[in-house]
Amino acid sequence: MLDDEQRLIQARVSLTQQIDRGSVVLSSQLAGAFLNVPRHPFVPVFYRREGERFIPWRSTDGDAEAWFDAVYADDSLVTEVDCVHAEQADPGGVTGVPTSSSTAPSLMADMLDALDVNEGDEVYEAGAGSGYNAAMLCHLAGDKHVTTVDRSGTLTALARERLNGIGFDPLVIHGDGDRDVPPDAMYDRIIATASVRRIPPSWLERCRVGGILVVPLKGTLAGGMIARLTKLPDGTAAGRILHTPAAFMPLKTGTEVEVQVPGIPDSPCRDAGLSGRVLDDWTFSFFAQLHMPRGLIRTYGRSDDGLHVTTLYDPAGGSATRIEDMAEGTPLVTSTGPHDLWTPIEAAHRRWRQLHRPRREWFSIEATPAEQTVTYTAPDGRVHRWTI
């Protein structure tokens, strides 16, 4: 089936049409990239979820047509779970947390459209992943102008092999996407396919004046945001938040330390104005994140009664707060440490409602080597600003 050139052409046309029917209006250059760059060489094996397990799926595993349709659907494809690549997994699958994936093509298209890559632009990509996005960049800029970096040796080796396999030879680096930017290199375009809490100063420094950065920003909450900034002559960068929410996996540096959330005593407690489930609303969660301490951690699950429980923990300040739904009445808040961490979220939700639920694309962002801020200007001219 995969040798059928007509089938491959139809699949790429179908995928391009799926993207174009969504919220992304494809330019002719970007449509050309999706029409000309195949996806299947970059994801010969990926995981499908069955209950709690992730099962590796190959075209030879039963229904090849279903596999091929999944590859060319507008969906993300998980390629790595707890650093176990799908190609190296036992046929019975693995359990754990996804650590790499091939991004949904419509989200790729939205970010690539914002990046506005032209032929000859020097492009830096943090997060090579499967290599499919790098292939798009090679088509748009020319492969000799593309550098892509990933901390996983397995991913970089496979990405390089597959990029070479379809005729592209960009610079593929096994390293830290933040700290291993090639010395003295300057770029016209910088894009990340993994999330960061703040834009790394190295990316600001290596972006040329007039250049564009497209970076997913995400804290502990799922509904992250994508920033699109332009480098200014004074060394700062400014821009807007894209309309698309995104929950990219975090950029790994190798210095991450797993933090254990402490237990919280059952008392004292107070009534909550909101359930912790409000943080699962992506229209609000990006706004809530602006009001959280930088290193705050959120975990959630179910109580013994099957009701939602959210826990917030600030490792820097030592505070922890549990918000627990009740079968009857309002949720209860229980805290330990110097601060009730739910109070700022309740206040943020009231402000969000008072501002009439502003959309993320109405927010602007500024970044300097010392400070990064998100700003919303209300219709009455009042400016709201948060440091991230």
pLDDT in tens, 119-129: 999 999 999 99
Give the pair of three-digit tokens for residue 238: 């400014």
CA–CA distances in Å: residue 81 to residues 8, 258, 278, 349 = 28, 17, 28, 34
- Residue 49 CB contacts under 8 Å (≥ 6 apart), including other chains: 55, 78
Q: Give CA angle at 130 (192, 107), nearest 5°.
A: 50
pLDDT at 171 (0 to 100)? 98
| Cα→Cα distances 47→44, 85, 245, 268, Å | 10, 9, 23, 45
- pTM value? 0.92
Which helix or strand (DSSP H or E) is residue 150 part of?
A: strand 146-150
Strand 146-150 versus strand 123-126 pairing type: parallel
Please state, in angstroms and rounded to a whole number, the distance separating the CA atoms of residues 11 and 294.
43
pLDDT on residue 1:
45
Query: Which residue numbers in the chain have pLDDT < 70?
Result: 1-3, 253-257
Residue 127's region, left for phi above 0, alpha for psi from -120 to 50, else beta, is left
The Cα 209–Cα 212 span in angstroms is 9
pLDDT score, position 319: 94
According to the model, what pLDDT value does residue 255 have? 60
Q: How confident is the model at residue 2, as a pLDDT?
A: 47
